[in-house]
Structure 1
Amino acid sequence: MNNVLEYLENSAKNFPHKTALTDPSSSCTYKELYDRARIIGSYLSGLTASEKPVVVYMDKCVEALISFMGIVYAGCFYTFINPDQPAARIGQILEVLQPDCIICLGDADQKLRGLSFHGTIFDYLKISSPLFCERLNAIRSESSDTQPLYCNFTSGSTGVPKGVLVSHRSVIDFMKYFPDMFHITQDDVIGNQAPLDFDVSVKDIYSAFKTGASIVLIPKKHFSIPTMLLDYLCSHQVTTLIWAVSALCMVSQLKGFTYKVPDRVNKVLFSGEAMPASHLAIWQKYLPHAQFVNLYGPTEITCNCTYYPVLKVFEPEEKIPIGIPFPNERVFLLGPDDKLITEEGKTGEICVAGTALALGYYNNPKQTQKAFVLNPLNTHYPETIYRTGDLAFYNNLGELCFSGRKDFQIKHMGHRIELEEIELVLNSYPEISRACCAFDTKKNRLAAFYCGELDKKELLKRMRETLPSYMIPNLCIPVLHIPVTANGKMDRKKLLEMCL
């Protein structure tokens, strides 16, 4: 197998009339998805070359996913851009990609032209083409599994977004194991939470296409209204959630399960940041028969590189491990001296080797060379690894435990501090439903933001019982909610703006 289209083609053959995709306004069967994607592929194949980027510029919807597959049929790779993103960021992404074509839904011409895009803009609804079977077959026969499949953009340290370019081979390698390991089958309905430009959605898309499961696209607005979200999960009989931690915490924090329990959900896989044990315990209480799995991995290694099946209820102050490597992925820790760390309790940087690694950053050789480096442990032949910038240690069972980001490791009052360590303590207090720490570099002060009914005086008193003085935040700010980024992670930058 060398192309992810085989997943779609097998499901279209085996489950032609089964609903593949659903959003609030439309749906399609696997056969409709297959047929429409081939028409789009035929149309694009005469307008742009293989291995070129094609942008899908629309809200999360059925048409966006069909466009993805059409782009792949044309031998190209896709990038999803949500129109709600700031114009400056959209402009930066287009500058990096330099695409010939953009597919939109409805009229987006004026806005895109204002961003100095000079290529061709297509309205999805107006794309019509004969089916060029011979041309599509020729494109397929010349393809290889190392060709790019998608490019997702993450923030860049230079202020310019970095496009993580992932090949067919990396997704095929990951999907060889992922659905089977977590028992995702044709009988499942996957409730998609992640934006389509976030790699969590890759697990939704290709798990479904490989197995013949259905995908239900959940609108973003539902994740601020628990009753609406839970009604949606129940009405669509969703069984599988592969969600960001913040999305799960929104339900538990706002006591959503007192309204309704989506009792058909039997798989809850979470990632993106550390899951507070107290929130996980609420989900476990209301879905006692569900499988819970903590997943870890940055975009650059194709979704995830470690997993931890949760088989017990953790105490609020306990850290949930990120577990052990996925098959065919090598995950190890390097110390500051680039020496291998194997002993219990010692912190090192998480490094990953294997087929799962991305191709690099699109049109950004400098940043690629900085992150995708030669393995310093291998002096016999060149072996590329990805240095994640994340820190971890081994517990007494040999499982990896996340210990924060290198860039969240701050220097304060002469001490190195992990912000996640402070958050773990705050989240263990029963009166606090969600907490986040940030460091104001300009004023050299720690700030803690929290949702809950604990007054600042009592909060400081409790922290002094557990944390050394240099880890006590200078500011403790109660908030109604913790803002999140477009990818569902806590937005520390926005929180810090409250201090200015």
Structure 2
Amino acid sequence: MITSILEYLESSASRYPDKTAFADLDATCTFEELRLRARRVGTALAEHFAPRNPVPVFMEKSVDTIGMFMGAVYAGCFYVLLDTKQPAARISQILDILDSNVIVTSSKYQKDLEKLEFKGTILLTEELEKTPEDSFVLKSIRDQALDTDPLYGIFTSGSTGVPKGVVVGHRSVIDFIDCFTELFHITGEDVMGNQAPWDFDVSVKDIYSGLKTGATVQIIPKQYFSIPKNLLDFLVEREVTTIVWAVSAMCIISTLNGFTYKVPDKIKKVLFSGEVMPIKHLNIWRKYLPDTMFVNIYGPTEITCNCTYYIVDRDFEPGDVLPMGKAFPNEKVFLLDEEDHLVTEKRINGEICVAGSALALGYYRNPEQTKKAFVQNPLNDRYLEPIYRTGDLAFYNENGELCFATRKDFQIKHMGHRIELGEIETAMDKLPEIRRSLCIYDQAKNKIVAFYEGDIDRKQLSRSLVKYVPNFMVPNVFVQVDTMPLTKNGKIDRKELTARYQEGR
């Protein structure tokens, strides 16, 4: 039984030393090159970071970035990717939470880094990679490592306006990826077409499936998802066989009739998550790739990527509900009602709860939120059994298959990202022209709607918000109101605003 994901890398480097492990538009690296680079970087990072501490990596996804990730792991630490295109204010919030005075970056991102006004130590990848490997240091770190040690941190949106850092350990990733690659027959013969940003947990399946099996990971440039021809050319030229994409990424191709230009017919496995897959779009994909396995996978960051899967085994029509399927072998998934009773009846909604070794280690330096989300299983009064309450509602259909219903609260899934509407409201409140704000989600049209009191026009408001939140969190619709309607308790009347919007849309 392996105890560190480094054993994935080392095993693949031993079996396929000269095989391409990762490739982007500008560079490639073999498994052995990645192993040697990571050990040098790990030696250098060990001088700046104590084990089990976060290593902030201020870069975009690339061959160079995976070297920094694995270097952080060799140093006994866990990596946190800071997207260079995120607003400076948000990155500063994350750095405050990490409490780190060291950032790892490349010289190509130094102009972006200047916007942060970071006062700490900056370590450049170009210098880290020149450090001679110290096998004694690396061995001593490895000897003290545990399989429960943290591997990576991913920051999700927080309802209080402060991002939450989900920390996931080696054991959780190992248990998940071992099941994932076996269930979907991912092997060293596969080529993974990486769509997801590396600060989004969909990417974990690409990175670690590749490292475990010896599959090559082809890193697709973000801009190609705005140019379907380039995207399809890439998939064909790089001979991609497996894609693990957000639903919204798949819909780009089907919306713009991309398959009439070219069909990447070497793709044999398509796994999708992040949002409810529209049946119309799924059917387009299945029409052009009739011999491909399609899999609907579900799960939040807090349970290591996914907890349920459904291999599409029949035809669906628009309006049908695509099942979530069943739990991965290393996880237990069940529904609880509002009184914490187990839901087993068909067509009755319950909150999706997850137990098992895939649970995250909690939210970094945030014990209050950790205690709220990771709780004792109310069905078990015999021994400690932590579960994660997802806040999502689901039900069992007539076939006994689990199906997604909706969010329990105001946390939403939008453009493949999990978003707390409260964080957008907090960002709007930072603008001096805004007096009050409230956001709702129009699920039918997949739009974030923001109501506000204030003297600012919609275009200026949209431009101003980009300083505080990523583009995918900027509302699609802005509605200016003279005064917010209030309930008898003095709270903004969300139902009244929703009704006004629905009447006027």
1:383 is aligned to 385
Deviation string 1:179-203 (CA, Å, 9 cap, x unpaired) is 0100111011000000000100000
- 1:261 to 1:499, Cα distance in 2 relative to 1, 3 A: farther
Q: For 2:198, which of 154, 177, 196 is the aligned residue?
A: 196
Q: By how many angstroms is 1:373 displaced?
A: 1.1
1:436 maps to which of 442, 446, 452: 446
| 1:319-360, Cα deviation, whole Å (9 max, x unpaired) | 101110000201011111111101101001100011100000
Map of 1:132 onto structure 2: 134
- Whole-angstrom CA distance in 2 between matches of 1:314 and 1:303: 25
Do 2:165 and 2:363's aligned partners in 1 also have CA atoms closer than 8 Å?
yes
Partner of 2:59: 58
Listed as ranges, the matches of 1:1-400 within 5 Å are: 1-106=2-107, 108-109=109-110, 112=113, 115=116, 117-127=118-128, 128-400=130-402
| Compared CA separation, residues 492 and 319, structure 1 to 2 (3 A) | farther
Name the counterpart of 2:502: none
SS in 2 for 1:35: helix
Once the two structures are TM-superposed, the CA of residue 15 in structure 1 deviates from its matched residue by: 0.2
CA spacing shift, 1:295–1:366, aligned 2, 3 Å = same
The CA distance in 2 between the partners of 1:207 and 1:294, in whole Å, is: 17
Query: 1:405 and 1:121 mapped to 2: Cα distance?
Result: 41
Q: How much has 1:45 moved relative to structure 2?
A: 1.1
Greater shift, 184-193 or 372-381, is seen at 372-381
How much is the aligned-residue C-alpha RMSD, in angstroms? 2.3
Specify whether residues 48 and 113 from structure 1 end up closer, same or farther in structure 2 by C-alpha distance, changes over 3 A only: farther
- What number of residue pairs does the alignment pair up? 439
Residue 109 of structure 1 and its aligned partner are, at CA, apart by 5.0
Question: Does the CA-based 8 Å contact 1:300-1:357 persist in structure 2?
Answer: yes
- CA distance in structure 2 between the aligned counterparts of 1:222 and 1:163, rounded to whole angstroms: 29
Structure 1 partner of 2:497: none
2:477 paired residue number: 496
Given that 1:21 and 1:29 are in contact with CA atoms closer than 8 Å, whether structure 2 keeps it comes out as yes
Cα distance in 1 for residues equivalent to 2:441 and 2:158 = 21
Whether the 8 Å contact between 2:447 and 2:475 is mirrored in structure 1 is no
Letter in 1 for 2:476: L
Deviation at 1:497, TM superposition (A): 2.8
Counterparts of 1:419 and 1:352 in 2: how far apart (Å)? 25
**Structure 1 residue 408, shift from structure 2 partner:** 4.8
Distance 1:108 1:370 in 2: 37
On the 8 A contact 1:37/1:73 being kept in 2, the answer is: yes
Q: CA separation of 1:354/1:265 partners in 2, compared to 1, >3 Å: closer, same or farther?
A: same
Partners of 1:499 and 1:138 in 2: CA distance: 60
Could you say if the C-alpha distance between residues 161 and 439 of structure 1 is closer, same or farther in structure 2, counting changes exceeding 3 Å?
Answer: same
Distance apart, 1:116 and its partner CA: 5.1
Q: Which residue of 2 aligns with 1:450?
A: none
Structure 2 CA distance, aligned partners of 1:216 and 1:301? 25
Partner Cα distance (1:438, 1:68) in 2: 34
Deviations 1:249-285 (A, max 9, x none): 0100010001100010010000001000010000000
1:119: Cα distance to partner?
Answer: 3.0
Asked if 1 retains the 8 angstrom alpha-carbon contact of 2:86 and 2:470, the reply is: no
User: Which residue in 1 is equivalent to 2:431?
Assistant: none
Change (3 A) 1:343 1:148: same
| TM-score under structure 1 length normalisation | 0.84
The residue type paired with residue 495 of structure 1 is N
Match of 1:454 in 2: none
* Alpha-carbon offset, residue 115 of structure 1: 3.3
CA distance in 2 between partners of 1:498 and 1:112 (Å): 35
Q: Report if aligned partners of 1:53, 1:100 keep a CA contact under 8 Å in 2.
A: no
Distance 2:123 2:450 in 1: 45
